[in-house]
């Protein structure tokens, strides 16, 4: 699996999904093309999915928000007769490297979080309308919808057969959503996760696994009624969307990538990717009408779309670049002006969507298993949303005083109102609140510094950066840090970062990425699941995995 | 490492710890005997520890509560000149099986939680008085103390060098306590966990790593002052303790174990241990004086000590017995009467300690990586504290109606006041609250059933058990369940149970056992740490581990 994985797609290229739009209700059909697998060696039978299927779903969900803001309810259905979705493709999982499995699960988790949150963030509620078997990752898709309807017949059911069949977990949020979203009683959850054949009809409702079981004969009618009810109960919005065009992206031979506002420079020997984000190359929109007219070209939207693509590209295609370095260059005042416009108009659907996409993209940074350092250099524009990158990183270095031969404006950090609530982390508090968990009063005090040009010594005193170095020390300190980081075990770094990035409260989201993912990763490394005699390899042979029975 | 590990010890056998008692202040010296390792093949240099050292510490902490209730402050010091504690012994870790590493970490975590909670539960505050190097697991010991004092000199420091040196995590609560107990800023935590040499003096205070740095010349004086202050600030108590005598335990050839009130029956072919707890064999103490006079022989204390030993024994010495079955036999009224006595006298130090030990022991059950089924049979006494076993297990089966030829009293479940707050789980809510997370009002309603003899049909309707079966179905249903359970992958079961047992709120404790442990277990399985070229094997050779640099 070494071919480059491209996260950019559009409806003209979909092989696995289609959407019917009818006013404020959209119907999303999963209809996986068996022969459309991202890699060789498996067929996507029974609406099973691989990363390629999920890349399309991610695109659907994103476009639903930007291109179809009129949609209030999305009904997720299967395009197949007898199956809703059989979950992640087992042969794909059996053949995939450990790293691919982990990355695949992370991306699918992010997509599910995105449509789960669409109701609260954008007034788009996802309903799962389940007919036929809904197994494993299929039920996890349904669980991420905020309402689950199940056909009450002899063949429709929901199930999480991973443990008995595959010796792995329902790891794409399944277990966490069963216990903490649906709040299924734990002994019933235990039974449910042990029975391959799943649970049907009324029992599925009684056990809280679905919201409603409806006889087959009435199913389509009741689903339509329910969609109508939910849409009517939602606040009015009839905006016309914008089009998300293809990104302007060039990938060079050496792996460096250039977008209109983002550059990735690659140093393979040092195992480092340097990601530079550029400040505004155009002015603040004059009005929300002007913002809509700019479409996908407004600075904040273009930048975040490019940045998101850069993150996904580096995660999946450049796994040996273990250190990401964030830089910015540009006019901090202009950054603040653009963000201020969005904040002032956050009741406008498009300004809201742009801010929401920033929130989601910054969350992708938080759960990225790479060491991240932020360099606050002269000429940089770490202000508002870009300042979040300082606190999303594992540590930061800031230039102090003038550097010889460097005419760029002196480095500053600029706080904005946005840093105090617009871009919460997965733990549902801001990066500043997480950073200053011991001193909530300091976060309050920082509000008094909104807009200030905070130079290095001050930024250090305020705790906003890790280190400030002057011209004499800068190069050496950065070099030593980077060399040191590149020498550490990647696994230990991943574990370290997963534990120290999310202090404070826990949410379903942090629990999925922190706890559930960690256990799944452990199991993915165990011979009982992935060894040559393990369950994933033996799946479909009729022979159970040959297990080492020691409990660990 | 196949010799039987015995968790029973007493001060006459200690090789690694000693305690000086002086009124309400105890000084606990760690002075590890290099040649006292539990297994062959390593020396416990520099106050490094293995499971044997921790078994003694666990015993110290337990006896401190029961035998020395007069103690209000415990000062933890090193008995060596230049080192506080070097952490877990690396050669031991390098040579240990995956299962032993995991079990070792679990037990040490439980011990640390126990002395950390001693302040709130028993008015015994632990202070770490650190002189010399305090590294890795050594600093984790200090972190679990509720006050850390560090000598401010050139050689004393605290450090977590696991990531750079060993390619594993500070996994015995270290990362979690750094971020969530000490609330160290995350970029400083990142720096701290990257520097082998650790942090000293004032910087350690500024970074919140320790509470106080004191010059060497004044260190002992200030430590004594601080201990005096904390002791004086604590509520008065001058009780005289009881003696915890050796347990009455017989281990048979086939591995079955008999205590005075607990039996373990072993079925190796079925990979099952059946643990039977017996109801009271003596009456309720007439008074708290009588309770003290009974010493370690009172029913509730004797039972819980035996049960705790049984749990620890099975966890470490019987790793292929993947299913634990809990049974009870005895007089439920008597169980309730004993518990009612303790609850009525919970302001008495010994009644409190007995209830606290029940709380801790039930928590051990919650984090045990075994599938647990509870059988509520005729003649059983699942009442009060014993009823907790129904909800601590993964599922439960209850006998319904009379069984032919069975003259024992009909099976009942009996709720007590204790089930509503005396034995919270690690998530800090009760097992009933966790069970009924979706219906908090149902927990309130259950209070109305305190004391009732709840038979099977009623227990099922109230959601207190999973299944009720009559004479016709009982044997087959139990057999099928047990066979099925024994056929599943042990790893998948461990991951499943770790995720579904702790719905609801998260605490530092659930985060340590759920998140941190899971990441550490993953890393323990990765070649970068434990492979032949990994860091644990190469430690001490001067050659860094040979790492696969892919980030996963």
Q: What is the DSSP string of A38-67?
A: SSSS---GGGEE-HHHHHHHHHHHHHHHHH
Backbone angles phi, psi at B148, to 5 degrees: -120, 125
Would you call A496 and B163 a contact, using CB atoms and an 8 Å cutoff? Answer: yes
From A264, A371, A248, select the one nearest A317 (Cα to Cα). A264
Q: Does B499 touch chain A (CB under 8 A)?
A: yes
Which chain B residues touch A167 with a CB distance below 8 Å? Answer: 488-489, 491-492
- Tell me the two tokens of residue B161: 């060098």
Sequence length of chain B is: 552
Q: Rounded to an integer, what distance in angstroms lies between the CA atom of residue B490 and that of residue B24?
A: 47
Work out the angle at residue B492's Cα, subtended by the Cα atoms of residues B488 and B496, and round it to the nearest 5 degrees. 115
Would you call A552 and B484 a contact, using CB atoms and an 8 Å cutoff? Answer: no
Does residue A189 contact residue B439 with C-beta atoms inside 8 Å? no
| C-alpha distances in Å from residue A448, one per residue of A386, A416, A436, A445, A462 | 19, 10, 16, 6, 12
Does residue A70 contact residue A33 with C-beta atoms inside 8 Å? no
Alpha-carbon dihedral angle through residues B110, B490, A178, B476, given to the nearest 10 degrees? -110
Element (H, E) at A151: strand A147-152
Q: Rounded to an integer, what distance in angstroms lies between the CA atom of residue A98 and that of residue A319?
A: 12
Q: How far is B341 from chain A (nearest CA, A)?
A: 31
Does residue A551 contact residue B369 with C-beta atoms inside 8 Å? yes
User: What pLDDT, on the 0 to 100 scale, is given for residue A1?
Assistant: 43
* pTM greater than 0.90: yes
Would you call A528 and B489 a contact, using CB atoms and an 8 Å cutoff? Answer: yes
Three-state DSSP class for residue B130: strand
- Tell me the two tokens of residue A218: 């009435």
Would you call A168 and B492 a contact, using CB atoms and an 8 Å cutoff? Answer: yes
Q: Does B528 touch chain A (CB under 8 A)?
A: yes
Would you call B491 and A520 a contact, using CB atoms and an 8 Å cutoff? Answer: no
Does residue B66 contact residue B115 with C-beta atoms inside 8 Å? no
Q: Which of B175, B321, B500 sits opposite A179 (nearest CB)?
A: B500
User: What pLDDT, on the 0 to 100 scale, is given for residue B540?
Assistant: 82
Q: Does B208 touch chain A (CB under 8 A)?
A: yes
Three-state DSSP class for residue B99: helix
User: What pLDDT, on the 0 to 100 scale, is given for residue A239?
Assistant: 85
CATH code, residues A250-500: 3.90.226.10
Q: Rounded to an integer, what distance in angstroms lies between the CA atom of residue B61 and that of residue B12?
A: 15
Q: Does A181 touch chain B (CB under 8 A)?
A: no
Q: Rounded to an integer, what distance in angstroms lies between the CA atom of residue B216 and that of residue B150?
A: 9
Instruction: Give tens-digit pLDDT for A522-540.
Output: 999 999 999 988 999 888 8
Q: Rounded to an integer, what distance in angstroms lies between the CA atom of residue B233 and that of residue B72?
A: 9
- The DSSP secondary structure of B423-434, one letter per residue, reads S--TTSS-HHHH
Q: Rounded to an integer, what distance in angstroms lies between the CA atom of residue B68 and that of residue B123?
A: 12
Which chain A residues touch B319 with a CB distance below 8 Å? Answer: 550-552
Sequence-separated (6 or more) residues with CB below 8 Å from residue B48: B32, B85, B86, B87, B88, B89, B90, B92, B137
Would you call B466 and A188 a contact, using CB atoms and an 8 Å cutoff? Answer: yes
From A262, A294, A286, select the one nearest A276 (Cα to Cα). A262
Q: Does A441 touch chain B (CB under 8 A)?
A: no
Interface contacts (A, B; CB < 8 Å):
278
Q: Does A185 touch chain B (CB under 8 A)?
A: yes
Q: Rounded to an integer, what distance in angstroms lies between the CA atom of residue A91 and that of residue A42?
A: 6
pLDDT at A343 over 50: yes
Q: Rounded to an integer, what distance in angstroms lies between the CA atom of residue A427 and that of residue A502?
A: 7
Which chain B residues touch A369 with a CB distance below 8 Å? Answer: 551-552
Q: Which of B437, B499, B522 sits opposite A521 (nearest CB)?
A: B522
- The runs of H, that is alpha helices, within A123-145 are 137-144
Does residue A549 contact residue B269 with C-beta atoms inside 8 Å? no
Average pLDDT over residues A349-375: 97
Best mutation target among A323, A508, A519 (most B Cβ atoms within 10 Å) is A519
Q: Which of B208, B496, B528 sits opposite A491 (nearest CB)?
A: B528
Q: How far is A339 from chain B (nearest CA, A)?
A: 26
Average pLDDT over residues A183-189: 97
Q: Which residue of A has its CA nearest to B486?
A: A549
Would you call A179 and B370 a contact, using CB atoms and an 8 Å cutoff? Answer: no
Q: How far is A263 from chain B (nearest CA, A)?
A: 21
Q: Does B463 touch chain A (CB under 8 A)?
A: yes
Q: Does A269 touch chain B (CB under 8 A)?
A: no
With a cut of 50, which residues of chain B have pLDDT below it?
1
Q: Which residue of A has its CA nearest to B179?
A: A503
Which chain B residues touch A179 with a CB distance below 8 Å? Answer: 437, 499-500, 503
Instruction: Give tens-digit pLDDT for B235-259.
Output: 867 789 999 999 999 999 999 999 9
Instruction: Give tens-digit pLDDT for A89-127.
Output: 999 999 999 999 999 999 999 999 999 999 999 999 999
The sheet with strand A157-159 has its strands ordered as A83-85, A133-135, A157-159
Q: Which of B183, B320, B436 sits opposite A438 (nearest CB)?
A: B183
Q: How far is A390 from chain B (nearest CA, A)?
A: 10
| Helix/strand/coil (H/E/C) assignment for every residue in B244-312 | CCCCCCEECCCCCEECCCEEEEEECCCCEEEEEEECCCCCCCCCHHHHHHHHHHCHHHHHHHHHHHHHH
Describe the crossing of helices A98-122 and A51-67 by its angle, rounded to 10 degrees.
20
Would you call B162 and A320 a contact, using CB atoms and an 8 Å cutoff? Answer: no
Backbone angles phi, psi at B487, to 5 degrees: -90, -10
**Terminal alpha carbon distance of chain A:** 32
The CATH T-level fold of domain A11-233 is 2-enoyl-CoA Hydratase; Chain A, domain 1 (3.90.226)
- The DSSP secondary structure of B41-89, one letter per residue, reads S---GGGEE-HHHHHHHHHHHHHHHHH-TT--EEEEEESSSSEEE-EE-
From B134, B15, B175, select the one nearest B514 (Cα to Cα). B175
Backbone angles phi, psi at B468, to 5 degrees: -120, 130
Q: Give the number of other Cβ atoms within 10 Å of residue A155's Cβ.
A: 12
Does residue B285 contact residue B294 with C-beta atoms inside 8 Å? yes
- DSSP bridge partners of A326: A275, A374
pLDDT at A543 over 50: yes
Which chain A residues touch B395 with a CB distance below 8 Å? Answer: 187, 190-191
Q: Rounded to an integer, what distance in angstroms lies between the CA atom of residue B429 and that of residue A186?
A: 14
Q: Does B491 touch chain A (CB under 8 A)?
A: yes
Q: Give the number of other Cβ atoms within 10 Å of residue A281's Cβ.
A: 14
Q: Which of B180, B319, B525 sits opposite A526 (nearest CB)?
A: B525
Would you call A489 and B102 a contact, using CB atoms and an 8 Å cutoff? Answer: no
Describe the crossing of helices A517-524 and A98-122 by its angle, rounded to 10 degrees.
160
Quick check: do B11-233 and B250-500 share a fold? yes
Would you call B322 and A551 a contact, using CB atoms and an 8 Å cutoff? Answer: yes
Element (H, E) at B467: strand B467-469
User: What pLDDT, on the 0 to 100 scale, is given for residue A20?
Assistant: 98
Q: Does A167 touch chain B (CB under 8 A)?
A: yes
User: What pLDDT, on the 0 to 100 scale, is given for residue A11?
Assistant: 97
From A127, A134, A126, A141, select the one nearest A200 (Cα to Cα). A134
Q: Which residue of B has its CA nearest to A497?
A: B190
From A51, A45, A56, select the one nearest A15 (Cα to Cα). A56
- DSSP bridge partners of B347: none
Q: Rounded to an integer, what distance in angstroms lies between the CA atom of residue B353 and that of residue B335?
A: 18
Three-state DSSP class for residue A182: coil
Q: Which residue of B has its CA nearest to A463?
A: B185
Element (H, E) at B435: helix B431-435
Q: Does A289 touch chain B (CB under 8 A)?
A: no
Average pLDDT over residues A144-154: 97
Which chain B residues touch A509 with a CB distance below 8 Å? Answer: none
Q: How far is B431 from chain A (nearest CA, A)?
A: 10
pLDDT at A2 over 70: no
Would you call A499 and B175 a contact, using CB atoms and an 8 Å cutoff? Answer: yes
Q: Does B179 touch chain A (CB under 8 A)?
A: yes
- The DSSP secondary structure of A389-415, one letter per residue, reads HHHHSSEEEEE-S--TT--SPPP-EE-
User: What pLDDT, on the 0 to 100 scale, is given for residue A551?
Assistant: 87
Which chain A residues touch B396 with a CB distance below 8 Å? Answer: 187
Domain boundaries, chain B: 11-233, 250-500
Work out whether the CA dihedral B249, B254, B255, B256 comes out positive or negative: negative
Does residue A359 contact residue A391 with C-beta atoms inside 8 Å? no
Backbone angles phi, psi at A211, to 5 degrees: -90, -25
């Amino acid at each position: 699996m070494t071919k480059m994985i491209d996260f950019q797609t559009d409806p003209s290229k979909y092989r696995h999904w289609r959407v019917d739009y009818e006013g404020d209700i959209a119907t999303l059909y999963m209809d996986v093309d068996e022969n459309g697998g991202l890699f060789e060696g498996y067929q996507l039978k029974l609406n099973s999915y691989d990363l390629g299927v999920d890349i399309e779903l991610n695109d659907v969900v994103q476009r639903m928000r930007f291109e179809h803001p009129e949609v209030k309810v999305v009904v997720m259905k299967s395009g197949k007769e007898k199956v809703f979705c059989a979950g992640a493709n087992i042969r794909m999982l059996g053949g995939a490297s450990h790293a691919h499995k982990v990355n695949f699960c992370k991306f699918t988790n992010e997509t599910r979080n995105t449509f789960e949150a669409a109701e609260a963030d954008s007034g788009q509620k996802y309903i799962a309308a389940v007919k036929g078997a809904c197994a494993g990752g299929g039920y996890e898709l349904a669980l991420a919808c905020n309402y689950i309807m199940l056909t009450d017949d002899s063949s429709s059911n929901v199930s999480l057969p991973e443990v008995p069949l595959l010796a792995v977990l329902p790891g794409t949020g399944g277990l966490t959503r069963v216990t903490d979203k649906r709040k299924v009683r734990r002994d019933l959850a235990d039974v449910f996760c042990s029975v391959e054949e799943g649970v049907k009809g009324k029992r599925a409702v009684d056990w809280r696994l679905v919201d409603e079981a409806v006889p087959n004969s009435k199913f389509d009618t009741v689903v339509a009624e329910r969609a109508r009810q939910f849409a009517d109960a939602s606040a009015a919005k009839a905006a016309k969307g914008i089009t998300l065009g293809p990104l302007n992206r060039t990938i060079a031979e050496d792996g460096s990538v250039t977008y209109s506002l983002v550059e990735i420079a690659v140093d393979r020997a040092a195992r480092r990717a340097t990601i530079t984000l550029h400040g505004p190359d155009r002015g603040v929109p004059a009005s929300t009408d002007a913002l809509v007219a700019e479409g996908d070209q407004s600075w904040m939207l273009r930048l975040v779309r490019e940045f998101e693509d850069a993150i996904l590209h580096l995660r999946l295609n450049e796994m040996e670049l273990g250190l990401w370095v964030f830089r910015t260059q540009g006019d901090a005042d202009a950054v603040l002006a653009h963000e201020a416009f969005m904040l002032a108009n956050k009741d406008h659907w498009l300004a809201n969507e742009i801010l929401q996409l920033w929130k989601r993209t910054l969350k992708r940074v938080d759960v990225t298993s790479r060491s991240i350092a932020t360099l606050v250099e002269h000429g940089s524009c770490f202000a508002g949303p870009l300042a979040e990158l300082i606190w999303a990183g594992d540590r930061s270095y800031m230039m102090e005083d003038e550097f010889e031969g460097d005419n760029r404006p002196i480095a500053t950090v600029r706080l904005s109102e946005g840093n105090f609530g617009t871009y919460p982390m997965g733990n549902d508090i801001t990066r500043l609140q997480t950073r200053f968990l011991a001193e909530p009063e300091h976060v309050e005090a920082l509000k008094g510094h909104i807009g200030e040009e905070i130079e290095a010594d001050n930024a250090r005193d305020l705790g906003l950066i890790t280190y400030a170095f002057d011209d004499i020390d800068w190069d050496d300190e950065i070099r030593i840090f980077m060399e040191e980081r590149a020498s550490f075990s990647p696994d230990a770094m991943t574990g370290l970062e997963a534990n120290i990035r999310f202090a404070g409260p826990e949410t379903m989201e942090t629990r999925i990425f922190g706890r559930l993912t960690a256990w799944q990763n452990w199991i993915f490394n165990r011979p009982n699941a992935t060894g040559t005699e393990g369950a994933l390899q033996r799946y479909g042979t009729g022979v159970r995995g040959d297990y080492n029975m020691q409990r660990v």
